[in-house]
Structure 1
């Protein structure tokens, strides 16, 4: 990505020794402007409002984020599936989306004698996947995850950048479990959210217990609502997390724990959620065979660790001012040969980076003085300078994004160190690894 400093901006409080006033300005980064300046994403009226496309560096950030969350889910016992982005209208009539959520859905499309709809949510598809096979209590909890597309018919006036879009890639999962497993699964989801936020450098603004409010947008099942609210309240209380109840913010089928974040202007949005759902297992007639040999109804726990990829990246751009944690940065290392004579050494080092899975590029002397090249790439976590002495000894002189200069060291030791830091998903540039 273009690593040049945006006009009038610093790259972020974690990236340079800027003044408190500059850091205050950094907090006000608008991802819509900065994301375009950094060549992460853009839009085109021919594609349409609310339908951004990802440029190569943005796609790298997105891919890295997706792989991180998929790996975390696999380690937590989730199995991944793929499901179609279309479904028959009848599917959403059964789930309740058509009667409670159709204002936010795209109109159905006639295909022969059927009507199909772009899905507004992944949960009906996952319920059908669960229903397609018989299940024993021994299999539960069954954790099903997908990073899949869904579509919302947002009005043009509310669309903006990556935060409000019409085509969404959601980090979604549904846990089918017994009633006595719900609290543990919800707590485990909250712990996954905490761990992901730590790796990404995200600070939650608050936790919200989203409850139903007045009006007819909620399914009429008072006993189910009461049980769901009690379960989530217990989870929050036992987790020791401060939270605030908010009426009118629940999903139409059940209450939620919402993890709220704020942007530099103080605007609040939901990034991650944990939900308890008794409604859809009933609607789709889901069951498992218990230890008694009889059929029992599972509970469905919905959870999203990073929410939509679009909103997550938008928040990360604003939070870090483009100076992403090293493991997430589009370019992790820039190699700076002092002169043309060191260019073969730089190319050899770049090849070693590629072999180790590190994202590196070379900024040669044809791009200006060494100082100019350092400034141009000030958002890159690591700069490796190779002069005549370093080339002879297979060393590099290391500069960190935060301004620190390290003693020259062997290229292999340097690559081992940053490789370990990247693999650990830390937000630290150097100190986290001994």
Structure 2
């Protein structure tokens, strides 16, 4: 059983410092590589699905969150306001109010809908010190978020398409959903008091889940509407929410959003919230534990380590790394000064590919290949090795050494 808090630090992916504060981890270079690859992956997937990306500030006036309803229903989880002149500004707890303002800043026709707006943006939650730790519960969150502004007739199709994106991402990441949950409101004043809103949104989400095995759970909804939560389970059996899909009638009303319909009149859009991979922090925590640090090739911080047997082969090893980097393969040299060959091989045990270069390999332009799974394909021309790694990186395949 793997604990991402321990393994992530051992692998030099992330760490914390008391001067930065609890729940505020920083990313080390190898962790930053994983994060960057994930961010580029999800942006590419969203662009291919018709999303346009935006950037919005992490601060907003308190009034913004009063309009959205966060101040009334969610303020206990928000950081306190900061005074700026005669105004109060707040670190945002979510991205949706900002996206509503971006939508509202321009007029829209029904011909533009669905309008899919995505952002990988920061948000902040005032988590108690006793619950933060590692990457699963943090105060500074990098969220893969998106909001689809669409007609009522388009909402179910858009939410289903979001679920399809989530399933494809999980396949590529080598993880699986443990269950789907329809999260409904519970008792108390946490939720927007509008029974019709809840009934309409819940009915639509049930249509989205038609044919999907799911459980309905009360008390887990967002304050403004029900949601589909995609649950994952860690090796210890602990369950958490990674991805979500929501249908929202509340914020379009609060922000007076509209589009011009075919009749020339103003109509209210529906706002579909969805996150494919959730927060980058929670996803990386789950990936560390699910893969035991042995990331799929396309996610591995280092994909190839080159091990010269002796000092005479070190320059050749650096040449191979330069070729690899030029091909987009993330590679490093583990030089003889770093220890014996056996010790260097053990230290690189989680790297997908190891290329040992002795005198014979250096003369032949080849490398003795060792795979993370223990297989040894033997001496392989360097160009062929790099072709294979680049192919696995490009197709996100799980097989390290597919038959030629």
In which range does the TM-score fall when normalised by the shorter chain?
over 0.9
Report how far residue 428 of structure 1 moved. 2.9
**TM-score, with normalisation over the residues of structure 2?**
0.98
Give the conservation status (yes or no) of the 8 Å contact 2:324–2:331.
yes
CA distance in 2, matches of 1:427, 1:281: 43
Which secondary structure does the structure 1 equivalent of 2:374 belong to? coil
Matched, 1:99 2:80: no
Q: Which has the higher contact order (CA 8 A, sep 6+)?
A: 1
Residue 160 of structure 1 corresponds to 133
The correspondence for 2:236, drawn from 265, 272, 284, is: 265
* 1:193 and 1:306 in contact (8 A); partners too: yes
- In the other structure, the counterpart of 1:316 is 287
1:243 — aligned with what? 214
Instruction: Measure the CA separation in 2 of the matches of 1:63 and 1:311.
Output: 15
SS in 1 for 2:378: coil
Q: Is residue 200–residue 427 contact of structure 1 (8 Å, CA) maintained in 2?
A: no
8 Å CA contact 1:340, 1:365 repeated in 2: yes
SS at the partner of 1:371? helix
Alignment match, 1:73: 46
Match of 2:313 in 1: 342
- Equivalent in the alignment of 1:398: 369
Of 294, 297, 309, the match for 2:268: 297
What is the rounded CA distance, in whole Å, between the counterparts of 1:198 and 1:370 in structure 2?
36
Deviations 1:244-279 (A, max 9, x none): 000110001111110111112211110000000000
* Alignment partner of 1:56 is 2:50: no
Gaps of 5+ in 2: none
Matched, 1:134 2:107: yes
Q: Deviations over 1:279-329 (max 9, x none)?
A: 000000001111111111100000001111110011111111111111111
Match in the other structure for 2:149 = 176
Q: What does residue range 343-362 of structure 1 map to in structure 2 within 5 Å? A: 343-362=314-333
Partner of 1:277: 248
1:219-234 alignment runs, 5 A limit? 219-234=192-207
Distance in 1 between residues matched to 2:8 and 2:385, nearest whole Å: 30
1:125 equivalent to 2:98? Answer: yes
TM-score for the superposition, normalised by structure 1: 0.91
Aligned counterpart in structure 2 of residue 146 of structure 1, from 87, 102, 119: 119
Q: Is the 8 A contact 1:327 1:423 kept in 2?
A: yes
Distance 1:388 1:326 in 2: 28
Q: Equivalents in 2 of 1:54, 1:348: separation in Å?
A: 29
Is this contact kept in 1: 2:370–2:378, CA < 8 A? no
CA distance in 1, matches of 2:27, 2:345: 26
Partner SS state of residue 59, structure 1: helix
SS in 1 for 2:176: coil
Task: Please state how far the C-alpha of 1:368 moved relative to its aligned partner.
Answer: 2.6
SS in 2 for 1:232: helix
More displaced stretch, 329-338 vs 214-223: 214-223
Corresponding residue for residue 18 of structure 2:
45
CA spacing shift, 1:217–1:235, aligned 2, 3 Å: same
Is the deviation greater in 360-369 or in 275-284? 360-369
